[in-house]
Structure 1
């Protein structure tokens, strides 16, 4: 009798679409997701929504750019001149991840298997192409142009359902963060039954082989 296959490791990735460190973690996150013994779910925390949202100011733009250059040195992830000029340079524009979370929930409702792809699409649009991901018009345009036409339509035709999904997902993310005492994102958790265990997420940036103590 052949042995039963090992139970996959279930991970929850807590993130915010406007978090530069989450973008920096993307390459190692993709490598981790490619493992056959790992299942991962995206859990937005709404870090930059509600009271966490703000308007872009010159001081905040300078602070973000300093962090972005550090992330680039550690990960090689691109923070382009277009991003610097068109995103950080748009003083007064809302810094609010709510629209991007709604876009991801629209993808979850229409093509859930493409949710990680959609997050990558939004991150690249912002950090590489300098596109606006803080307005519904901006994220809808990005989704439609990148082949997420059903999700783009859902933002228009099912706004109530999408908003409910977003609120539920954010509530789950915040509850998970509180449960493990996490203060920010990215945060990576192992979920097993009713228990959540936080992983040293610095490994997502710098040391993938040590992540989960599972050798490549």
Structure 2
């Protein structure tokens, strides 16, 4: 039998998402539960994929018809609720849909805290700010309130968020996700040493994801 993993070499569950992905908003509570279920057995990290970037950045009005139609499906399948403020934001149409600023905020948080577990929670808070609160994720000031529960220094965060290093880092993260071959969001990948195993492509309920993860872990130590 393989030796029991130590905290320094635990298997890692990569939660590959995008802050503007509605299905990811539905999946994030599942990932939070998995993080709790497998504490001490699996490390959970979040990566941003860059769903809307470059030439794809545009006013939300361009894709609002598709987004609005999908909201009910996401709510029914996942149990999350999209707030009236987000629906009003979409209906107004002028909000610029751009994955880069919120992804850069998540990367800046990760860099400052060096804490993947808290970064998972912060990533969900960023999504909730948009999809429930209708807040503008393109404004640096939006993140000030989101940082408070995490006790992260706002001034230091803003310095990192606005730095050229952060801009380069998030582009590198988008490129790394593309190299993995991710076709859509959310995607969950279990990394065991040099091997990666796709656990979920798209939304997956908690129990299904938990069972799949348990099975992979059993097979690894068998």
Give the TM-score of the pair, scaled to structure 1: 0.83
2:70 aligned to which of 67, 71, 80: 67
Describe the shift of the 1:136–1:108 C-alpha distance in structure 2 as closer, same or farther (beyond 3 A): same
* 2:209 corresponds to: 208
Structure 1 gaps of 5+ residues are none
Partner of residue 4, structure 2 = 5
Aligned ranges 1:96-135 → 2 under 5 Å: 96-113=98-115, 114-133=118-137, 135=138
- Tell me what 1:190 maps to: 190
User: Runs in 1 of length 4+ with deviation above 4 angstroms?
Assistant: 144-149
Query: How far apart, in 1, do the equivalents of 2:83 and 2:90 lie?
Result: 11
Q: Aligned-pair distance for 1:50?
A: 1.4
Q: Output one character per residue of 1:91-114: Cα deviation in whole Å (capped at 9) or x when no partner.
A: 132110111011111101211322
- Please give the residue correspondences for 1:42-191 in structure 2 after superposition, counting only pairs within 5 Å: 42-57=46-61, 60-85=63-88, 87-113=89-115, 114-133=118-137, 135-144=138-147, 146-147=149-150, 149-150=152-153, 153-156=156-159, 159-176=163-180, 178=181, 182-191=182-191
30-39 vs 205-214, greater mean Cα deviation? 205-214
8 Å contact kept, 1:79–1:128: yes
- CA separation in 1, counterparts of 2:193 and 2:154? 31
Q: Partners in 2 of 1:23 and 1:62 — Cα distance?
A: 18
Moved more, 193-202 or 96-105: 193-202
Verify the 8 A CA contact 1:14 1:43 in the aligned structure 2: yes
**Mean alpha-carbon deviation: is it higher for 137-146 or for 123-132?**
137-146
1:31 equivalenced with 2:47 (yes/no): no
Alpha carbon RMSD of aligned pairs, Å?
A: 2.5
Does the residue aligned with 1:42 lie in a helix, a strand or coil? strand
Distance 1:72 1:128 in 2: 12
